[in-house]
Structure 1
Amino acid sequence: MDWEEEATEGNEDLEELSPSQLIYPNVAEFVAEQLASVYRRDVDLAGRSTTFTWCAQWWRHEEAVSRLTGLWRAWESLRTDPTTGLAVWWRDYADPTMRVLFDEKGPFHGCTPRTHNPKGIPLPLDSPPEGLFNT
């Protein structure tokens, strides 16, 4: 699956909510219209800061797309809880997810808010022995 497919995937798990019940129809709109405006940080546009790392092309990072999709799904579900829903979302989902994404050595390592230049590589893997995971 390429990054364009991943950036728009996720709607199928929210099918129990009708489209009219969703605030954001996909993760890209959630990030642009909700997350980026409420999650404000001092981000050095030249990428010199080691405090917060961000890539404006977040949708080109598979890990970021997966994490942000989970964050969007949790938000859509928890926002309807009139008691502690959003507090739970911040504590259990937003803050831990954003700590990982903002981390200097996280998924955006090598990128800046203006330049997509990832440094990480996929984890090296050896194939498991044949038959190990057969049921």
Structure 2
Amino acid sequence: MDIGARRTNSHDDIDGEPLEETEPEEGERELVYANVAEFVTEHLAYQYRRDIDLAGRATTFTWCAQWWRHEEAVSRLTGLWRAWENLRTDPTTGLAVWWRDYADPTMRTLFDEKGPFHGCTPRAHQPKGIPLPMDPPPEGLFD
């Protein structure tokens, strides 16, 4: 499914416009990045420097320049951004924990040849994956 075609409510205003301008409440930290798109383009892309074949022929790292069109990638990157915003102020092990527990596992999944960007290249959005096939659960199962 093309997330760019049906962005309605999830994952913090990916288009760069905050949902609502609000002042942080007492005890609440002010965000460094206004949304996940800002975090990815201004921070993460510079933190993760990899030798990526722009034609997509390499199998080491897969990336889609239109990452925002992949629901799984947006969800994972949103979690990564929120974890970074929370852990960045920990003066002891916050960033080490972010790298170990959040950034490296998330980026390994995103960069994986068969991961969410399978079929795409850094220059072309050509996803091969399909949503998981499923049958509806029996009525009353989750009541």
The TM-score with structure 1 as length reference comes to 0.89
The residue matched to 1:117 in structure 2 has which SS?
A: coil
Higher helix share: 1
* Partner SS, residue 8 of structure 1: coil
Percent identical across equivalent pairs? 76
Post-superposition offset of 1:3: 3.8
Indicate yes or no: 2:39 matched with 1:35. no
Residue of structure 2 equivalent to 1:59: 68
Q: Which runs of 5+ in 2 are unaligned?
A: none
Structure 2 residue 25 is matched with structure 1 residue 25? no
Deviations 1:71-126 (A, max 9, x none): 00000000010000000000000000000000000000000000000000000010
**Structure 1, residues 24-78: CA drift from partner, whole Å, max 9, x if none?**
0100000000000111111100000000000000000000000000000000000
For 1:4 and 1:105, the matched residues in 2 are separated by 27
Look up the SS of the partner of 1:115 in the other structure: coil
- Residue 8 of structure 1 corresponds to which residue in structure 2? 12
Q: Which runs of 4+ in 1 moved over 6 A?
A: none
Paired residue for 2:80?
Answer: 71
Q: CA deviation at 1:9?
A: 4.5
| Maintained 8 Å contact 1:3/1:61 | no
Is the Cα–Cα contact under 8 Å of residues 7 and 59 in structure 1 kept in the other structure? no
Aligned residues: 130
Residue pairs, 1:74-113, within 5 angstroms: 74-113=83-122
Aligned 8 A contact 1:71 1:97 in 2: yes
Between the aligned partners of 1:3 and 1:115, the Cα distance in structure 2 is: 20
